[in-house]
Amino acid sequence: MQVGFIGLGIMGREMAANLLKGGHTLVAHSRSGVPQALLDAGAVACASPREVANRADIIITMLPDTPDVEKVLFGENGVAQGLSAGKTVIDMSSISPVATREFAKRIEALGVHYLDAPVSGGQVGAANATLTIMVGGEEATFEAMLPLFQLMGQNINLIGGHGAGQMCKVANQIIVGLNIQAVAEALLLASAAGVDPERVRKALMGGFASSRVLEVHGQRMIDRNFEPGFRIELHHKDLGLALASAKDLDIPLPNTQNCQGLFEACMSSGGGQWDHSGLLRALEQQAGQEISTHKTN
């Protein structure tokens, strides 16, 4: 297939690379330019989203936020201006479910298929093609695009109509964020009590508290490795989408609100670019101490 890819950040560039490995022809565009590694692998750089849409049969967007997607799709030299009937647009960004339904309506009015397909799994999942992909849209379009999704992920599900994939991603981000907060609080408590958090993490990995967050981000916290796989500013944005949806539906999400506050504290300290496991730092600031593995008890 002739695939277009717009948005080649930490995850997008890995996803695009896996499409090239799968044998597809790739045309691409990114604000910061197409990475040389992708060009060396055969990708062709385009000057605008419009050019990508004009040259590709399937156009994938992987962008930071709702306004970015709207601009790329409908702005000057945007995707919509290069589309023709029968093509498919797949937005794999994590954005507003409400806006997604409107974007889908506008794209489909052009005779073009549309799927929202946000992902979970971070840079590691993107690089290893093990992403979870949550899809909203028509079943026939989903089935047609499934071979493409299978080059980028493993757990791939059609959730429902347009916007359902985005709502599933919002739910995912609530669970991930609260798990990060729980792991951070547990390891901080153990450390403050003079117990080695590294040993605590190892012990808990064998019990009911075991989780992917404890495994990966618990180790990040212990190693103090906050180089981003997924940035705090993006998780903060996703929880904002969750809280906005909850407000519209008149339901309380008190723990999500609290977690959002910790991400905000990190951002206020200049941590918007930290990995989201860096939420630990907000708790450490409140506690007046950092976790440490150098304990005597």
Catalytic residues: 169
- Show Cβ contacts of residue 267 under 8 Å, excluding neighbours closer than 6 positions: 232, 233, 236
Q: Any long-range contacts for 287-295 (C-beta under 8 Å, 24+ apart)?
A: 287/188, 287/192, 289/191, 289/192, 290/191, 291/187, 291/188, 291/190, 291/191, 291/197, 291/221, 291/222, 292/191, 292/197, 293/196, 293/197, 293/198, 293/222, 295/191, 295/194, 295/195, 295/196
| Burial class (CB within 10 angstroms; exposed 0-12, middle 13-18, buried 19+) of 119 | buried
- Show Cβ contacts of residue 129 under 8 Å, excluding neighbours closer than 6 positions: 18, 151, 152, 153, 154
Please report, to the nearest 10 degrees, the dihedral formed by the alpha carbons of residues 263, 11, 37, 2 taken in order: -150
Q: How far is it, in rounded angstroms, from Cα 225 to Cα 221?
A: 7
Residue 208 backbone phi and psi in degrees, to 5: -70, -20
Q: What is the DSSP letter of 276?
A: G
The residue assigned the tokens 């450490």 is 284
Residue 223 token pair? 């190693």
Residue 281 token pair? 């730092």
